[in-house]
Structure 1
Amino acid sequence: MPDPALQRYLAEHYISGPKSDAILKRYGDDGQKKKKRKKREGADGGGLLIQDEATVWFGEEAPAEEDEEEGVAPDFSISDVSVPSTSSKPSGWKSVRAAGPDVAQAQETPAQAPVPIKAGLMSREAIKAQREAREAQHAHETQSAEAHAAAQEAETTVYRDAQGRRINVEDEETRIRAEQLEAERKDKERKVWGQGVVQRRAKHAQQAEQQAVQEEGVVRHADDARMNDILKEQIHPDDPAKHFLTRRAGRRAVRPTYEGPPPPPNRFGIKPGYRWDGVDRSNGFERKLFLKLNANERLRAEFQAWSAEAM
């Protein structure tokens, strides 16, 4: 059984309201009547107020404990319990200043916390209140996100071109990136078309060969048709059947030759026919070259004859 003196002391100094009256009535007040403290309307910034989460979120009051005394229904809401100040006076608190915007904001802070989920049986009103609290929280978060996005958009730097038109930085970066990709694609195509037809065919054949080898297994058996065909096509220099198994090269095509009048001479000895029709289309260098060579040869022959004439 709790100590009556302790309960009476706590009711006189630390508890107010109907609960204090109920405790004093139960354990006696020794003929001393306790002054009822007037409930102050609103919140002032002089002390600390503790409230239950249920009263904050759902607007419900904590259930009152059953009292043994008849006709007494004390209110055990935690909001009636106040923390005494450090002052030596046991009387009421002294308000230093009125509640400012900071205090109001601090009191609204718990409303922005996540809505707690209650377990167990719940009444219809409690479920409705919980749903409304979640919707209110979602609306508050949406409004905060929109305000934050609007603030960021207001702080965003605006870029304009020479004509004064507004430039979207993201669209401009996307356009520049697309141009770079297009230039890279054209460069690759230019490199591909710069190769010869034979080189491209050889490259495609090599890629097909690599793909076929990649799809094959590592193990080789005696009945592997592809491997046998590759081995059959190989020709060894010491093979005794090389002479009659080697396919003879077909007769080469004979290109047409020039059958007209004698063509003008050229220093490379090219004959008219497949590549040249025998017509001199130069600037006359070949003709002058041969005339000079012939003149030098004639002078050399004459000098040789003159030197041997005295003999």
Structure 2
Amino acid sequence: MKELETEKDKPFARSKDDPELDNMLKDRLRWGDPMAHLVKRKKYPEPVLPDLGEGEKMKESGFVVPQDIPDHSWLKRGLDAAPNRYGIRSGRHWDGVDRSNGFEKEMFKRTNERQARDREAYLWSVSDM
């Protein structure tokens, strides 16, 4: 009841600069948030959306959303994944296995060679100064 009384005294329209709204949105727990375990618990201990991944109907349907990192992932093995042009790190959505035809490997090789050649040319050009 106390919350209702305080809400009644607030203005009806809220702007993006409203500090109470901002704090409420920051403190909200979200289902599937991968960083939630790294921050301290807020004053809303229950999740806003229920976790439907462990329900009986989900198990019956065979639809499973992975919530953990697979054992064969690069993260669990303590290695870096193969670099890719999008900068995607391996995790629970990608196991880090390179299934490409070698294009990205050649692209990174050419990029590194070009940068090394440009750096060497620059060093040669300023060496006599």
- Using structure 1 for the length normalisation, give the TM-score: 0.21
Query: Which structure has more RCO (C-alpha within 8 Å, separation ≥ 6)?
Result: 2
Compare the two structures and name the one with the higher helix fraction.
Answer: 1
